[in-house]
Amino acid sequence: MSRVRRLALAALAALACGGCGEVDEIVVAISTDLAVPKDFDVLQVQVFAGNQGKFNRPYRRLGEPEAEAQLPATLGFFSSDAGGESIRIKVAARNKDDVGPVRILREVVTTIPKDRVALLAVSLDFLCDGSGQAAGSDVERALCDEGQTCVAGACVPSEIDSSTLPDYASRDVYGGGECFDVTACFADATPAEVDTAGCSIAGDGAALRNVALETAGDDGICDGDEGDEDRRCLVALNADSDNGFRVGDDGRIQLPPAVCDQMAQKKIAAVLTAPATSCAQKTAGLPTCGPWLASGSEEP
Q: Per-residue DSSP letters for 137-165?
A: TEEEESSS-TTEEEETTEEEE-B--GGGS
Domain ranges for the chain: 25-175, 182-275
The one-letter amino acid at 162: S
- H helices of the chain, in order, are 171-174, 182-185, 257-264
Give residue 15's pLDDT.
38
Give CA–CA dist 175/180, Å, rounded: 9
Residues 6+ apart with CB under 8 A from 66: none
Q: What is the pLDDT along the chain (300 residues), one digit of tens a residue?
A: 223 234 344 333 333 344 454 578 899 999 999 999 999 999 999 999 888 888 999 999 999 999 999 999 999 988 777 668 899 999 999 998 777 899 999 999 999 998 899 999 999 999 999 999 998 888 999 999 999 999 999 999 999 999 999 999 999 999 888 999 999 999 989 899 999 999 999 987 768 999 999 999 999 999 977 777 789 999 999 999 988 999 988 889 999 999 999 999 999 999 999 999 889 999 999 999 999 998 543 343
pTM for the structure as a whole = 0.89
Residues 6+ apart with CB under 8 A from 108: 88, 89, 120, 122, 149, 158, 159, 160
259 HSE (CA, 13 A, CB side)? 27
Count CB atoms within 10 A of the CB of residue 236. 26
- Helix, strand, or coil here: 257? helix
Q: Is 77 exposed, middle or buried (0-12, 13-18, 19+ CB in 10 A)?
A: buried
| 266 φ, ψ (degrees, to nearest 5) | 65, 25
